[in-house]
Copies of this chain bind each other. A is one copy, B any other.
Amino acid sequence: MQTDSYLESSMITIIQTFHKYSGQKYKLKKAELKQLINNEMNHFIMENDTLDELFADLDQNKDLEIDFKEFIALIAMVTSACHELFTLK
């Protein structure tokens, strides 16, 4: 069987990174999201005092945890912002 493409490997890395911080409950508490951002996205998101706001925005169903669908929305948002930087004239 052919191996996964770089794109497919990237999607798996996103899932594995989420699991690294969520554990088997597959949800991130605010402290876990903060750790993930600080350790894994510190070039793309600066630590600042807006984590509360970001968390509230992501937590669409207001259960005070970030599930995978909510997390992937963050990844999509950040990747789109990066793409815009890449394509600025």
Q: Mark A5-17, 1 if CB is under 8 A from B, else 0.
A: 1111111111101
What is the CA–CA distance of A29 and B28 in the complex, to the nearest angstrom?
37
Q: Please, how many residues of chain A have a CB less than 8 angstroms from a CB on the other chain?
A: 36
Report whether A5 and B39 are in contact in the complex, using a CB–CB cutoff of 8 Å: yes
Q: Which chain B residues lie closer than 8 Å to A44 at the CB level?
A: 8, 11
Report whether A26 and B76 are in contact in the complex, using a CB–CB cutoff of 8 Å: no
Having A5-B41, A11-B78, one finds 18 other A-B pairs with CB under 8 Å, namely: A2-B42, A2-B43, A5-B17, A5-B40, A5-B42, A5-B43, A6-B13, A7-B13, A8-B41, A10-B11, A14-B79, A15-B83, A15-B86, A19-B86, A68-B80, A69-B80, A72-B80, A76-B76
